Chains A and B, each alone.
Chain A
Amino acid sequence: SQTIHQWPATLVQPVGSPLSLECTVEGTSNPNLYWYRQAAGRGLQLLFYSVGIGQISSEVPQNLSASRPQDRQFILSSKKLLLSDSGFYLCAWRRASGSSYNEQFFGPGTRLTVL
């Protein structure tokens, strides 16, 4: 079966500090990968998606970046955090092909607080 991991689960960082959030998927190959952010009391906003190693598409211009160094690893980074970067960050994966390819499956999320 497939599982998706995110770490850390919670993070408190000062403004201006760097950020690295990691997401890994097990039990599947060549998944489509996604980073979403959820502000408090709001729906999810897509930040980045990737259809393969090294292939990153950005949906929202901001001070965040994403990388996919391995097939099942997706990293969200920032060089200098802003207060507005606070939120709940969710990684998701989807099968690129085959049956049941429609669903996106989400990880447990990382709650980031920037002070």
Chain B
Amino acid sequence: AQKITQTQPGMFVQEKEAVTLDCTYDTSDPSYGLFWYKQPSSGEMIFLIYQGSYDQQNATEGRYSLNFQKARKSANLVISASQLGDSAMYFCAMREGPGYGGATNKLIFGTGTLLAVQP
């Protein structure tokens, strides 16, 4: 079974509008972390935002926020006020288990969503 599912292969959004990128996950571990990364055409993976399974509040980082719905196992990324520079591939990823001690902290990635911001 897929651990991370991103159902939107591609998305269009108008500049200055908000956009939501979907991500659902599957795990039986009570401790886990959810990440979003941005991959522009250059190929580098840029960390955007992190949500821990025990975090009470949704994570926010500037124009990025993570809509964490634990019961539904979803961790959607919301980008407010889209900019042309936001055009890129976006990956949702999950770490199973705690992120401290000798844990592997390996990340399981979804297949990504290609976002195109239109002027």
Same complex origin of A and B = yes
What chain B residues lie within 8 Å of A94 (beta carbons)? 105
A30 shortest CB reach to chain B, Å: 12
What chain B residues lie within 8 Å of A103 (beta carbons)? 35, 47, 50
Within 8 A of A (CB), among B57-96: 91, 93, 95
B110 touches A104 (CB 8 A): no
What chain B residues lie within 8 Å of A44 (beta carbons)? 45, 91, 93, 107, 109
B44 shortest CB reach to chain A, Å: 5
| CB closest residue in chain B, given A59 | B106
A102 touches B95 (CB 8 A): yes
Q: Is A43 an interface residue (CB 8 A)?
A: yes
Name, among B44, B102, B108, B111, the residue most crowded by chain A CB atoms within 10 Å (CB to CB): B44
In the complex, what distance in Å separates the CA atom of A44 from the CA atom of B43? 12
Q: Is A90 an interface residue (CB 8 A)?
A: yes
B111 touches A42 (CB 8 A): yes
Total CB contacts across the A-B interface at under 8 A? 61
In the complex, what distance in Å separates the CA atom of A34 from the CA atom of B104? 10
Q: Is A74 an interface residue (CB 8 A)?
A: no
What chain B residues lie within 8 Å of A34 (beta carbons)? 106
User: How many chain A residues touch B (Cβ–Cβ < 8 Å)?
Assistant: 26
What chain B residues lie within 8 Å of A88 (beta carbons)? 43
A80 shortest CB reach to chain B, Å: 26
Q: Is A2 an interface residue (CB 8 A)?
A: no
A33 shortest CB reach to chain B, Å: 11
What chain A residues lie within 8 Å of B104 (beta carbons)? 49, 51, 57
B24 shortest CB reach to chain A, Å: 14
A106 touches B44 (CB 8 A): yes
Offer 28 A-B interface pairs, CB within 8 angstroms, sorted by A. Answer: A43-B91, A43-B109, A43-B111, A43-B112, A44-B45, A44-B107, A44-B109, A45-B109, A46-B107, A46-B108, A49-B104, A49-B106, A51-B102, A90-B43, A90-B45, A92-B45, A102-B33, A102-B95, A102-B99, A103-B35, A104-B35, A106-B37, A106-B47, A108-B42, A108-B43, A108-B44, A109-B44, A109-B45
Q: Please provide the 10 A-B residue pairs with the shortest distance between their CB atoms, ordered closest to farther.
A: A43-B109, A106-B45, A44-B109, A102-B99, A109-B43, A46-B106, A43-B111, A103-B47, A108-B44, A102-B50
